[in-house]
Amino acid sequence: MKKARLIYNPYSGDRTFRIKLDMVIDKLQKGGYEVIPHRTMSVDDIYKSFFAGGTFDCVIVSGGDGTINHVINAMIKNDLDVPVGIIPSGTSNDFAAHLNIPKRVSQACDIIVKGNIIEIDVGKINERYFVNVAAAGLLTDVSQKIDINLKNTLGKMAYYIKGIEQLPNFKAIPISIQHNDNLIEEMVYLFVILNGSTAGGFKLAPDATAFDGKLNLIAVKECNIIELFNLFIKMLKGEHLESSNIIYLKGKEFEINCKENIETDIDGESGPDFPLNISISDKKLKVFVP
């Protein structure tokens, strides 16, 4: 029987995964896995103790994008090269959505048991890795600032409420982007670097995949409020990439700097300070997919 390390965040999403834990173990056992669960108590706990207990044939993660991020970073740091199974249970599960992994726990378990594995790319930003998105600017730190109870009660609506609170603070930031031999200097409201296609529930890079060996950079230029509103409407329709108020670049490496002290975000978690050296690590991670 194969061994699986199940790492779950009891505070993710609506906090109901713990109620489904026995069902998860039952499905995985019937699928040929001996399951060793680990309840995360903190971010540091993921890095310090989830490898205790010997070697494993796979690691299964139940949580949102932030939990997945920390598990992946811990695995890479410890040179653990085994497949990862994802059971989406966060408020926002953009990476799982990009891989077409369903939110229903039983269906996510079925995918792991089925055993279809692909190799995907992972982004690297300074000394940290990200599976889905790295970002900075307007609204990109919303997930870090939301009260956990509001987030668990209202789900994605909490992100929108927090975003509305920040509208009076709209302020463009000066950034420089070094890409290949080109230097772009621009005032922007925000930028995102995507490994997948989705961030915050928006399909920002519709044609992107997590296994094409490239990252997708999208930045929203400074513009008036009417243009910005119209741009968000275009984002909902997937028509934003042709806008003159959008910078859209694809590549393997970017260097981004900002003269202002603003926070960055990696998969919904606090990221590093500028300057940012961002690159793609081809086929760095094995993942169970439908």
Residues with catalytic annotation? 269
DSSP-derived pairing of the beta strands 58-63 and 84-88 = parallel
Exposure string over 139-177, b if 16+ CB within 10 A, otherwise e: bbbbbeebeeeebbebeeebbeebeeeeeeeeebbebeb
Tokens of 168: 């009076």
Give the span between the Cα atoms of 286 and 84, in whole angstroms.
Answer: 6
Helix (H) or strand (E) holding 236: helix 225-237
Task: Tell me phi and psi for residue 115, to 5 degrees.
Answer: 85, 20
Give the span between the Cα atoms of 266 and 141, in whole angstroms.
Answer: 9
Name beta bridge partners: 8. 39, 62
Tokens of 69: 């991020």
Give the span between the Cα atoms of 4 and 92, in whole angstroms.
Answer: 25
Terminal CA-to-CA distance of the chain, rounded, Å? 22
Q: Considering only CA atoms, which of 71, 13, 77 is closest in space to residue 38?
A: 71
DSSP-assigned letter for residue 106: H
Give the span between the Cα atoms of 219 and 222, in whole angstroms.
Answer: 10
Task: Tell me phi and psi for residue 245, to 5 degrees.
Answer: -95, 10
Single-letter residue type at 141? D
